[in-house]
Structure formats: C-alpha cells, structure tokens
Homo-oligomer: A and B are copies of this chain.
Amino acid sequence: MVNTSGGNSCFIETTHNSCFDLLTEDEKQLVESHRLVVNFKKGEIIGKQGSFASHIIFLNEGLVKVYLEGKPKDLILKIVPSNHLIGLPSIYDGNNRFIYSVATYSDSSVSLIDISLFKQLLGMNSQFALKIINILNEDTALIYGRFFCLTMKQSHGRVADILLCLAKRVYKKDNFNLAISRSDMADLTGLSSESVIRILKEFKDNGLISVAGKDFTILDTARLEKISQLG
C-alpha cells in the first residue's frame, strides 16, 4: 500500500480525524475545550520552522504546504489536505520546536491543540499513542518516497509524478483546474519553473496531457506512469 520507491510521492489519502475516536469521552471533552480554531488566508504562514511549537495543528479545511526553509529555495516536504494533523514531529522530549514551516496554498481553517495536552493524552491513552505512531509511520513512508523521487528521478519523471499525484489524489479526476502556480510546481518538483514549463510543453506536444493555462487534462496515464517510474 505505502509505496516507497518508484511510485508516486504526493501526499497521504487517509485522514487523521479518526485518531480522536480512540479517546474516551472525558479525553475528547478535554481536547474540545482546549481547541482553538483559527483561519488563515491564502499564502499565510501557520507555523515557522525553528519557532516554539505550542500546538499540534489539525487542518479542518484548506490546502497547505510543509517545507524546510533554505537560502535560495525552500524544500517542500509534503502537501497536506484537510483533515490531517500537522506538527506531530514537534513532539519531542527536548524543546518543542517546529522542525518545518507550514504555509497555506489556499484559505484554510485549523484547530490548534495544546502540545502539552497532546503529550498528556499520549501518555494516558496507549491506543491513541499507537494510532499516532501509525500516522507518523505513514508519513515517514511518504517522505521517503518523495526523498527518493527528488534525488533519484530526473526532471521528466518528477513532473510526471506530480501530475499523476495531482490528478489521483488532490483533484481525483483526470481533468482539473490547478490551484497552484508553475512556480509552486517547480518548488514541488525541485526544478526551476522554466524547466517545469518546458517539460509540460513537451508532454503536451507528445499527447500525454492537454494544458491550457491552469486547465489540465491527463490524456495518457499509462505513459505518464512509465515516465514517472524512472524517467
């Protein structure tokens, strides 16, 4: 199920909301009463790498990117859709820092859960802890896949990969109106925007996709998948 090498490396489909089902009524109540709902506009930063992580983030609605800040360019670790937990790796014995930055692609709503409450729950409820371990491990598999993709595949493979990912996981259909810019796609693939544009044109010329502005249609999934494997 979890595909490490070769495959697609976009984001996890399974949602994280179910983990709260493992809490007792009292524990749920505790979370509910300590939950803060905050809205963010497109492009805003929800969490900043290195800063004190006071809360675990649950994305109610929206689309965000999780990334490491770099001098010339950032490294996007993953895209996270709604109903996912963000910031779990900040749960760390030492100081609870954000190990990455989080910013919105579109208007988003998040619930903030106090990190010490969250740790308390983990220490109280081992079934909940086990579920969180599951979520962390699923995430790890995802990041490994992306790590592999960005270090071992070359440009065509990476673009094919991201196109398939967008179709299959984000929009769940073969034709979609892309919410992100070419420059975002460049960040996502670790390429320059010029390269992304050139490769998209190539794919278009070869009948793999049709592109008109932000309207994309995947025409030849099979061939794209082949290219994604190691092209």
Contacts and interface: CB of A to CB of B under 8 A. Distances in A.
A77 B204 CA distance: 35
Q: How large is the interface on A (under 10, 10 to 19, 20 to 34, 35 or more residues)?
A: 35 or more
Q: How many copies does the complex hold?
A: 2
Interface in A117-148: 119, 122-127, 129-130, 132-134, 136-141, 143-144, 146-148
Contacts of A141: 89, 92, 99
Contacts of A92: 2, 134, 137-138, 141
Interface string A136-164: 11111101101110111000000000000
A128 to B, nearest CB: 8
A140 B97 CA distance: 13
* Residue of A71, A122, A127, A140 most packed against chain B (CB within 10 A): A140
A5 interface: yes
Given A2-B92, A73-B152, A147 B143 contact: yes
A76 B148 CA distance: 10
A230 interface: yes
Contacts of A147: 68, 75, 77, 143, 146-147, 150
Interface string A181-197: 00000000010000000
B137 A91 contact: yes
Interface of A: 1-2, 4-5, 49, 68-73, 75, 77, 88-95, 97, 99-100, 119, 122-127, 129-130, 132-134, 136-141, 143-144, 146-148, 150-152, 190, 230
